Structures are given as structure tokens and as C-alpha cells.
Amino acid sequence: MDRRGFLKTSLVVGGTALSCNKARAQEQHDPDEFVGILVDTTRCIGCRACEVACSEVHDNYVPDVVNDGALETRRKTSDKQWTVVNKYKTDKGDVFVKTQCMHCYQAACATACPTEAMKQMQGGPVVWRGNKCIGCRFCMVSCPFEMPKFEYGEWNPKLQKCTMCFERLEQGQKPACVEACPTDTLMFGSRLKNLEVARHRIYSHPDNYVHHIYGENEVGGTGYIYLSAVPFEQIGFRTDLGTRPYPEYTKEFLYAVPMILFGVPAFLLGLNTLTGNNKPPIEGEFDSEFEVTKHE
């Protein structure tokens, strides 16, 4: 979008100004560049400060972190809580994993939404907008991580999921969970920078990490990326999702739609003309037999 606007203005301003603009644009931070959060699970101590911060900022259910013993059970995010931390027992000790919407860069939910209620905002966060939503729950069907949660108990239900604190990002703040994290498990920044940091950590401590960044290529790349000391399937990640962006699964079908709308009516009308106008009815295989039986 911005690039197109930029091109337009540069056409107006002219050739010399174009080169000036270009130089300036490269210096500034590109607002279109995707941001994300790096989660280094080797650093997480399971304090769940992120859960509390998230719920406080978004008026959701604030868990009693000290007493509820929630780490002993396996939890999923819900319509009351946008992020949860789970504990996994592995051969490298207890591993704590924060889960929330992954903010895919080619988001299945946003592609699925018939009203653009689920929308990829500038910079990558995927946000739900209630005034547009019809509550069809197609986003829930499509999301490979099953992250959008529906309020089944409300007459006026909302879809609840992490927004990467989009409203805070707009004000230049960091997401609430990142600010609350006491151990630097969470790191907010541009996706490029996050990937570089992640690779740097893997290469400088090759024995501490599996050599894979979850979310680098999964489902075409996600806003949240994860580092881990143990294989990802051991800490609750699906590793069978593939690297193909999910919207591409419907790409061919949606391409075919206008093609069929061009072609088929013409084909049908042609067929109709070929079979001739106002001709006597074509004899089916049984019409003759039918006549025979009728005469009897």
C-alpha cells in the first residue's frame, strides 16, 4: 500500500526528488516491515508474568499465578486467556512454553474471513474487529494452530485471541507480555532482527539448542518464533504443518472462480445453440418403449 502511494507521489515530484525520497526511505524504519516476538524457551522459568500482564491489559481473566497450580495441567488458550504457559517434562528438565496466536505472515484466519474482521494489520499482527465479524467461525476451522477462540456462552460472542498488543505497538510501546517478562525469554523486534538473534544464539551455543527455529518457515513464517533445547514435538508443537502458507491451499480454487464464470456460461449457451432451437423433443432411450407400453 505505502509503496504504491510512495510511487504515486514520486511520479508527481519528479525524477530528482525520487532519488532523494528513496535514500531517505532506506534510512528510516519501514513501517510495513513485519515485527514479531522471539521466544527462547531455554530461558523461561514459568513465572507466568506474561499471562498476568496480558490479561490485565486486555481485561481478561487474571490467573492466580501463585496458588492455582495450573502448570501441573496442560492448558490451551481460551476465550478468557489469550496466552498460557505450559510445563513439559523432557530429558533436559522441565521446559516452559508460552503459547498464543502465532501471527502468521500469511494468516489463514484473515484469508478465511468473509468480512475482513480478522485482519492482518500493518507490520504483521493479526487483529479481530468486532463490528465486521459475523461469527461464522471459519477462522477457527482454518487456523492451523487453532488459536481463535469463540465465546460460546454469550449472546453477542467475540472471537478472542492475542493481538500482539497492536494498540500498544501503535503508541510505540512493546507488547505487554514482552515488557512483563523478567528473564528476556521474550524479545520483540523486527522479524529479520529476531531471526538473526535466534541464529546467533544457536551458533554460539550449538549444544544448548536444537538447530531449528520454529516459525521461521512453518506455515510460511510466523510472527512468533521459538527456540528450544529439545525437539519441538516434545514441547507441544505440531511439526507436521508444512512450510506452505495456508492461504495457498485455496489459491487455485479462487483463481479458477472467475475463469469458470467467464467460460461456463459461454459454453452452456453454445451447447444450447448447437442442440437447435424449437426442435421437437429429443427421443430418450425409453421414449419409444414408453409409447409401446402405452398402446398396450
Partner 1 sequence: MDSFTYVNIFETKGLEYLLLLCFWALFVYLIRYLSTPAKKHKDSHR
Partner 2 sequence: MNSNVAPMRTFGDFFHFFIQELKPRGPWITPFNVISIPVILTGVVILVYRFIYGLGSVTNLTQDTPWGLWMGFDVVTGVALAGGAYVITFVVYVIKVEKYHSIVRATVLNGFLAYCFYGGALLIDLGRPWNAPNPYIGNSFGFSSVLFLICWHFLLYMVAEFLEFSPVIAEWLHLEKARKFLKSLTLVTVVLGITLSMLHQSGLGALFLMAQPKIHPLWWSSFIPILFFVSSIYAGLAMIIVEGTISHSVFRKLIAPNSHHSFDEIIFGLGKGAAIVMFVYYFFKALLFIHDKQWEMINDVWGYWYLLEVIGFVLVPALMFAFGFKHRSLNIIKTAAVMALLGIVLNRLNVSVIAFNWYADVHYYPSWQEIVVTLMVIFSELWVFRWFVTRMPVLNSKH
Binding site for partner 1 (CB under 8 A): 210-212, 231-232, 239, 285, 289
Q: How far is the CB of 242 from partner 2 (least distance, A)?
A: 8
Output the smallest distance, CB 87 to partner 1, in A.
Answer: 23
Which H or E run contains 262? helix 251-274
Task: Kindly tell me which of 34 and 128 has the beta carbon lying closer to partner 2.
Answer: 128
Q: How far is the CB of 245 from partner 2 (least distance, A)?
A: 10
* Cell numbers linked to 143: 487456523
Strands 224-227 and 35-40: parallel
What residue 210 binds from partner 1, partner 2, none (CB within 5 to 8 A, per partner kind)? partner 1
**Minimal distance, residue 90 CB to partner 1, in Å:** 16
Q: Give the binding site for partner 2 (CB under 8 A).
A: 76, 78-79, 108, 110-117, 130-138, 140-142, 144, 146, 149-157, 238, 240-241, 246-247, 249-250, 252-254, 257, 260-261, 264-265, 268-269, 271-272, 275-276, 279, 281-282, 284-287, 289-290, 293-294
Distances (CA, A) of 84 to 24, 43, 177, 256: 42, 16, 11, 41
Q: Tell me the one-letter amino acid at 175.
A: P
Select the binding partner of residue 7 from partner 2, partner 1, none (C-beta < 5 to 8 A, by kind): none
**Separation CA 224–CA 218 (nearest Å):** 11
Q: Could you give the 3-state DSSP secondary structure of residue 278? A: coil
Q: Which residues of 93-132 are buried (b: 16+ CB within 10 A; e: fewer)?
A: eebbbbbbbbbbbbbbbbbbbeeebbbbbebbbbbbeeee
The listed partner (partner 2, partner 1, none) that binds 211, CB under 5 to 8 Å by sort, is partner 1
Report the Cα–Cα distance between both ends of the chain, in Å, rounded: 77
Residue 13 partner contact from partner 2, partner 1, none using kind-dependent CB cut-offs of 5 to 8 Å: none
Q: How are beta strands 35-40 and 186-190 bridged, if at all? A: antiparallel
The option from partner 1, partner 2, none interacting with 264 (CB < 5 to 8 A, set by class) reads partner 2
* 33 DSSP assignment: S
115 binds, among partner 2, partner 1, none (CB under 5 to 8 A by kind): partner 2
| Minimum CB–partner distance for residue 63 and partner 1 (Å) | 33
Q: Between 96 and 237, whose beta carbon lies closer to partner 1?
A: 237
